[in-house]
Chain A
Amino acid sequence: MNRNRVWTIANYVLLSVAALLFIAPVLFMVAGSFKPEARVLSDMDSWRALLPGGAGLQNYRDVFARIPFGRYLWNSALINGLIVGLGLFVNALAGYALARLQWRGRDVMLAVVLALLIIPFEAIAVPLFYQLSALGWRNDYAVQVFPFVANPLAIYLFYSFFLGLPRELEEAARVDGAGILRTFFVIVIPNAKPVFATVAIVSFLLYWGMYLWPLLMTVDDAVRPLPLAIATFYTLPPVQWGDILAFGVMMVLPVLVIFIAFQPWFVRGVTTTGLKG
């Protein structure tokens, strides 16, 4: 009993130390966003690096004074919402076809998806820029959304999870006379919440910080997303680290909210959603 308690406490201490290693740089950033400029760097060498204070909300007020933050935030939210929403639908369908349906060409298609996964976006940004500019397509929301809807990584993630999903429920539904479409929408999707949550979070993260593409394709603040705004803080002297950190905190908050909102889906794995027995 006593040994058990020691073990439990040791476990929590270790977990907390590991967690601290993971969030120390994050704490540094949050703390710095509440400090006057001079202290952001000078506090680096001690515990004070992780403790906020001194400037109140001044850095945050500076951010709103220097850029139309609300506009950028709305643009980012709209672009990412569309990419993630459309992407979940399109990529889940493809992942399911690759994992579960019987059709000619499936294995070749899987190999193609994996091969496309290798291509870094940076490598095709220039030719894609040529390609879309030739069509005169630029400087709107759509050009920032459609290139990223179909995503090999998301397809492969769905594929991997559908492979591991027990077949019994689908077979039962099929025996009861449900077609493939009905089986997919009524049986598979409700049992695949963890993978939908994972893909939603991963793609949201992937695109929330996207910089290169909007820089190439847009010119108006009216359609530009948040990451482009950070350049304002570097290019308009003087460089204010406090402002940059405050901007960073505000940029990250929505992603954190999304992650926390999807948390319950993660926890409630397949085990507790009706696959028992």
Chain B
Amino acid sequence: MNKAAPRSEQSIAWLFMAPALLGLAVFILMPFLLAIALSFTNVRMGSPLPVEWVGWREYARLVSDAGFGRALFNNLLFAAVVVPVQTLAALGLALWLNRPLRGRVVFRTLFFMPVVFPLSLIAVVWILIYSPDANGLMNHGLDILTLGHWQPRDFLHDPHWALPAIMLTSMWQGAGLQMVVLLAALQAIPGELYEAAAIDGAKSWQRFRHVTLPQLRNALVFVVIVTTILAFRVFDQVRIMTQGGPENHSATVVFAAVRAAFDRSQVARGMAMSVVFFVIVLAVTVAQRKLLKQTRS
């Protein structure tokens, strides 16, 4: 890196950053700092009590809150399953569609279709798919796949199945977006690299290993990091499909925080949950970035 950059480049860089910085500072950083401050108070929505500082009280309560512990565990499990599976599926689809293929645009549009639908609608459709009825689409399908050995169950109200059901819906909904990002990166790989590799007699696996993967690295790191963060932030599906139930078996941290702040008016507690959540995801993201560094060309 060239430390002796001209002064004009310094000022132009700040000029380029200025509008974004202003927006981030006013609409994300300030409310977040306010959230931290509120987490140390007793503020409740619509409460007649005067607002005062109570120190670490809400955090102390979280430590002994089994429901919050459960939500944290669910979040970790959700991310551990969804991130690798969804990324591999998206990579597979992107590679599949990046070959000479008639109707590629049609298939790409079809795979992308679930992304286009707002989660509020998607969730309603999946509630119907997971219907406990033996004739429900999921129960019926599993019955056929297992040659009649499947016992129909109520996925969204079953402690063991509620979270996996939400995972499946999330992966189905999100894979298309990652695929489009990866496909855009695949399309940007110069054709000469493949031609050169072909002249050198590289087999298709070698071309993938030595041309595609290195060229895809930055986009792949991007996809993994963003998917991880979005996986931790999972909220809408939980809110609409299970309300965190049964007994918090499908609750997530953001869901718990919103439930506290909005539904139960416990603003301070909701804010404390948000702060803990932020610290944990920050740690995970920092670790990930240490492992997967993006390279400057």
Contact = CB atoms under 8 A, between A and B. Distances in A.
Please indicate whether A and B come from the same complex rather than being unrelated chains.
yes
B34 to A, nearest CB: 4
B246 interface: no
A247 to B, nearest CB: 9
Given A22-B111, A115-B282, A271-B190, A266 B24 contact: no
A252 B124 CA distance: 15
A127 B34 contact: yes
Interface in B246-297: 254, 257-258, 261-262, 267, 270-271, 274, 277-278, 281-282, 285, 289, 294-297
A63 interface: no
B24 to A, nearest CB: 5
Interface in A127-163: 127-128, 130-131, 146-150, 152-153, 155-157, 160-161, 163
Prevailing SS type, chain B contact patch: helix
A25 interface: yes
Query: Which residue of A28, A126, A130, A161 has the most chain B CB atoms within 10 A of its CB atom?
Result: A126
Given A150-B20, A260-B109, A122 B218 contact: no
Contact of B28 (A23, A116, A180, A208): A116
B23 A90 contact: yes
B110 to A, nearest CB: 4
B27 A150 contact: yes
B189 interface: yes
B137 A44 contact: yes
Contact of B188 (A15, A116, A271): A271
B31 A114 contact: no
Contact of B184 (A101, A230, A266): A266
B206 interface: no
A82 B205 CA distance: 45
B219 A160 contact: yes
A106 B12 CA distance: 13
Prevailing SS type, chain A contact patch: helix
By Cβ-Cβ distance, the 7 closest A-B pairs, closest first, are A150-B23, A209-B118, A269-B187, A45-B135, A102-B5, A123-B274, A103-B13
B62 interface: no
Contacts of A205: 115-116, 177
A163 to B, nearest CB: 5
B22 interface: yes
A65 interface: no
A202 B177 contact: yes
Contacts of B183: 266
Given A117-B229, A160-B294, A93 B121 contact: no
A251 B185 CA distance: 30
B34 A269 contact: no
B98 to A, nearest CB: 10
Interface stretch (B64-72, B77-85, B125-133): B125-133
Nearest to B7: A103
A84 interface: no
Contacts of B215: 164
Interface string B158-185: 0000000000000010001100110111
21 contacts: A15-B107, A22-B176, A25-B126, A45-B133, A97-B14, A99-B296, A101-B12, A101-B13, A117-B229, A119-B274, A123-B277, A150-B19, A152-B28, A160-B219, A163-B294, A164-B215, A165-B297, A166-B297, A198-B181, A271-B190, A276-B192
A126 B2 contact: no
A208 to B, nearest CB: 6
